[in-house]
């Protein structure tokens, strides 16, 4: 039975050898040599230091293409034309499923045909050497962004390759991403990833870890997202991670988004150990985008405005081509510049909006209900408490494709466009909080002259791509 305990050194070594045999490039990993390589990197490439020393939100896009030289060109463009402060390397879907053979075929085909045959950078196939060529070529810190339930080999190779930031976690890269992996399995595998990051940290290479806050990306109630961030942050801290960026996906109501980001930072500082530096990242809207670049830029601009008010440490930007999927480098850079324009125009203004404190208080209360139910079980062991909470539905994620979550919770926007919970399932929540949600949803039902129903949820899912925030009846 796994527990929230640090992996012992002999077990770390055994797992490391086992996973490095999964692909030939695993042989390129040598921990001591990798530490020396990281020590050779200039300060401006040290992810945690750059992130944690910034005095205003840093902007970072998503970006990944199969071939190394194209990835270098792409990141140089986003750094130059997009003025990105931090850069990504988004990993392809085959690698995320540990299908390194298929990723190899895709990479070879890309090299033959000049086409992007993969939807990201196959870092395991490029190996430590390929990763280091990328790190050498780009004059900014780079983060590994992906969606990998079993990210052990990806971590071993990218950490040795010079990357100092790694997205994801055992819940946030399980629940929204896979049906095939049980929660206990992903928790155990991510303990290795975090222990490896902790081992680098103990040698002075502070690997930044960023749990994936948006989860299923559409109408996720802020308190559910924050609770899962706190859980993944605590699990990472146990393994020695000391730089943790907690994430949150924009829902589109400015009061609720600012309140949620404030609550995320406050609860992160409270629930994570003092030795951890806690930062926050705001993901611009992760739901359906308008199929119109001008309107998409409106969505991106609202994200910039929200970030200017809440001032998270980092913003993950979107592009006006989001509707189509992977953007061109020009569109990706445009999304960065649109976000920067709005932040820089708004950040010096003294914008005072009513209701943020009240909403933050509610979000904090909700999050504490969820955390209490996780931590009250099995003398506070976070692993066992989390497994129990998901098993009973006391913790749950709406629209989760994974069998590890019941998916019984249904969100809907209230009359102000804030995300409330319409169906609670077995979510652990005080009755008076449920009453607050019910009252606010009733107000919307009155406004629209219809009953609260699943229809509202369905209307809300498409509202933003249809040009609105709230899915009002036609």
Ligand X SMILES: CC[C@H]1O[C@@H](n2cnc3c(N)ncnc32)[C@H](O)[C@@H]1O
Q: How far apart are CA 18 and CA 38, in angstroms?
A: 24
Q: How far is CA 279 from the centre of its chain?
A: 13
Q: Give 240's DSSP letter.
A: T
Q: How far apart are CA 122 and CA 33, in angstroms?
A: 22
Of the candidates 28, 143, 167, 364, the residue annotated as catalytic is 167
Stretch that binds ligand X, among 7-15, 61-69, 190-198, 347-355 (CB under 6 A): 61-69
Q: Annotate each residue in 260-299 with x if it binds ligand X (CB under 6 A) or - if it does not, as one string.
A: ----------------------------------------
* Sites for ligand X among residues 312-351 (CB under 6 A): 318, 322, 325-326
Q: How far is the CB of 97 from ligand X (least distance, A)?
A: 14
- Whichever of 121 and 200 has its CB closer to ligand X, that residue is 121
129 is catalytic: no
CB closer to ligand X out of 57 and 120: 120
Helices assigned H by DSSP within 138-182:
152-160
SS3 call for 96 = helix
Give the span between the Cα atoms of 319 and 17, in whole angstroms.
40
CB of 121 to ligand X, least distance (A): 8
In angstroms, what is the minimal distance from the CB of 123 to ligand X? 12
DSSP-assigned letters across all residues of 39-74: HTS-GGG-HHHHHHT-SSPEEE-----SSHHHHHHH
| Residues forming beta bridges with residue 412, ordered by sequence position | 420
Q: In the complex, what is the shortest distance from the CB of residue 81 to ligand X, in angstroms, rounded to a whole number?
A: 15
**For residues 47 and 142, what is the distance between their CA atoms, to the nearest angstrom?**
7
Nearest approach in angstroms of CB 62 to ligand X is 4
Per-residue binder mask for ligand X (CB under 6 A), 117-146, x = binder: --xx--------------------------
- Determine the Cα–Cα distance for residues 327 and 305; give it in Å rounded to an integer: 22
In degrees rounded to 5, what are phi and psi of residue 316? Answer: -95, 115
**Contact by Cβ (8 Å): 301, 335:** no
Residues within window 64-83 making contact with ligand X, judged by CB under 6 A = 64
β-partners of residue 165 are 208
Give how many residues touch ligand X by CB under 6 A. 10
Q: Which range of residues in 12-20, 46-54, 56-64, 362-370 is near ligand X by CB under 6 A?
A: 56-64
- One residue of 62, 79, 181, 437 binding ligand X per CB under 6 A: 62
Give the nearer residue to ligand X in terms of CB position, either 65 or 429: 65
CA distance 132 to 290: 38
Q: How far apart are CA 218 and CA 471, in angstroms?
A: 13
> 300-330 as b/e, with b when 16 or more CB fall inside 10 Å?
bbbbbbbbbbbbbbbbbbbbbbbbeebbebe
Return the number of the residue (52 or 462) whose C-beta is nearest ligand X: 462
Tell me if residue 13 is catalytic.
Answer: no
Q: Which residue among 46, 96, 195, 340 is the active-site one?
A: 96
> How many CB atoms are located within 10 Å of the residue 293 CB?
17
Q: Measured from the CB atom, is 60 or 191 closer to ligand X?
A: 60
90 binds ligand X (CB under 6 A): yes
Stretch that binds ligand X, among 58-66, 97-105, 358-366, 370-378 (CB under 6 A): 58-66
Closest to ligand X by CB, 224 vs 272, is: 224
Nearest to 98 by CA among 149, 160, 25, 29: 149
For residue 212, the minimal CB distance to ligand X (Å) is 8
Identity of the residue, 231 or 286, whose beta carbon is nearer to ligand X in the bound complex: 286
Sequence length of the chain is 474
CB of 95: closest distance to ligand X in angstroms? 12
Nearest Cα residue to 137 out of 89, 196, 207, 200 = 89
Between 240 and 287, name the residue whose CB sits nearer to ligand X: 287
Query: 101 to 120, contacts with ligand X by CB under 6 A?
Result: 119-120
Q: Provide, rounded to whole angstroms, the least separation between the CB of residue 295 and ligand X.
A: 16
In this chain, which of 48, 59, 63, 296 binds ligand X, going by CB under 6 A?
A: 63
> Would you give the binding string for ligand X spanning residues 9-48, x where CB under 6 A is met?
----------------------------------------
Cα separation, 252 vs 460, whole angstroms = 11
Stretch that binds ligand X, among 22-30, 60-68, 414-422, 451-459 (CB under 6 A): 60-68
Cα within 13 Å of Cα(113), Cβ side: 11
CB of 110 to ligand X, least distance (A): 13
Residues within window 376-435 making contact with ligand X, judged by CB under 6 A: none
Measured CA to CA, the distance from residue 22 to residue 19 in angstroms comes to: 5
How far is residue 30 from each of residues 98, 125, 159, 161, measured CA to CA in Å?
A: 21, 17, 10, 10
Q: Catalytic positions, please? A: 96, 167
**Which positions lie near ligand X, rule CB under 6 A?**
62-64, 90, 119-120, 318, 322, 325-326
């Amino acid at each position: 039975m796994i527990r929230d305990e640090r992996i012992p050194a002999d077990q770390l070594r055994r797992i490391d050898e086992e996973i490095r045999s999964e692909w030939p490039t695993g042989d390129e990993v040598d921990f001591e040599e990798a530490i020396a390589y990281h020590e050779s990197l200039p300060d401006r490439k040290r992810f945690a230091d750059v992130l944690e020393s910034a005095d205003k939100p840093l902007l970072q896009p998503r970006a990944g293409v199969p071939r190394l030289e194209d990835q270098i060109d792409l990141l140089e463009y986003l750094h130059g034309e997009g003025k990105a402060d931090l850069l990504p390397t988004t990993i392809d879907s085959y690698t995320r499923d540990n299908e390194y053979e298929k990723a190899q075929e895709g990479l070879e085909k890309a090299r033959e045909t000049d086409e992007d045959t993969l939807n990201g950078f196959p870092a395991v196939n490029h190996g430590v050497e390929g990763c280091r060529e990328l790190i050498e070529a780009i004059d900014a810190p780079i983060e590994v962004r992906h969606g990998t339930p079993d990210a052990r080999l990806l971590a071993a190779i990218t950490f040795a390759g010079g990357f100092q930031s790694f997205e994801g976690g055992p819940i946030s890269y399980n629940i929204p991403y896979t049906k095939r992996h049980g929660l206990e399995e992903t928790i155990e595998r991510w303990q290795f990833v975090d222990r490896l990051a902790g081992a680098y940290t103990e040698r002075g290479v502070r690997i930044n870890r960023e749990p994936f806050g948006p989860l299923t990306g559409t109408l996720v109630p802020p308190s559910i997202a924050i609770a899962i961030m706190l859980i993944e942050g605590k699990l990472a801290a146990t393994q020695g991670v000391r730089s943790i960026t907690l994430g949150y996906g924009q829902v589109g109501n400015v009061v609720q988004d600012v309140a949620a980001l404030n609550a995320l930072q406050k609860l992160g500082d409270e629930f994570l150990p003092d030795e951890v530096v806690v930062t926050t990242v705001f993901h611009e809207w992760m739901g359906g985008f308008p199929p119109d670049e001008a309107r998409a830029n409106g969505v991106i601009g609202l994200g910039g405005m929200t970030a200017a008010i809440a001032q998270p440490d980092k913003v993950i930007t979107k592009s006006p081509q989001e509707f189509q999927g992977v953007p061109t480098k020009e569109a990706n850079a445009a999304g960065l510049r649109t976000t920067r324009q709005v932040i820089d125009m708004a950040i010096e203004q003294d914008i005072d909006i009513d209701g943020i404190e009240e909403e933050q208080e509610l979000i904090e209360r909700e999050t504490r209900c969820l955390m209490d139910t996780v931590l009250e079980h099995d003398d506070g062991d976070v692993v066992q408490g989390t497994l129990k909470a998901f098993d009973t539905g006391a913790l749950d994620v709406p629209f989760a494709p994974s069998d590890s979550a019941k998916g019984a919770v249904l969100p809907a926007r209230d009359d102000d466009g804030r995300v409330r919970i319409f169906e609670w399932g077995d979510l652990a929540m005080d009755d008076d909080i449920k009453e607050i949600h019910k009252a606010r949803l009733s107000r919307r039902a009155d406004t629209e002259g219809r009953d609260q129903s699943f229809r509202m949820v369905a209307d809300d899912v498409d509202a933003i791509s249809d040009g609105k925030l709230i899915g009002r009846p036609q």
